[in-house]
Structure 1
Amino acid sequence: MNLQDFVFYSLAVMTVIAALGVITSRNPVNSALLLVFAFITSSGLWILLEAEFLALALVLVYVGAVMVLFLFVVMMLDINLDRLREGFWKWFPFGAVLGLIMAAEMGMVMLSKQFKPEVIGIPEAKLVDYSNTKELGLLIYTDYVYAFELAAVILLVAMVAAIAITVRNRTDKKPSDVAKQVAVTRNERLRIVSMPAEKKE
Structure 2
Amino acid sequence: MEKLQCDCYILNDLLFKQNNTTFQIDSLIITSGTIYFFEIKNYESDYYYESDWFYKNPKTEITNPLNQLSRSELLLRQLIQSIGFNIPVSASVVFINPEFTLYQAPLNKPINLPSQLIGYLNKLESIPSKLNEKHKILADKLISKHIEEPPYYSLPPFDYKQLRKGIVCAKCSSFSIFIKGMTAYVKIVTMKNRFRPRSSAVSVNLSDYFH
TM-score normalised by the chain length of structure 2 = 0.22
TM-score normalised by the chain length of structure 1 = 0.23
Richer in helix (by share): 1
Richer in strand (by share): 2
**Higher RCO, Cα 8 Å, sep 6+:** 2
Greater C-alpha radius of gyration: 1
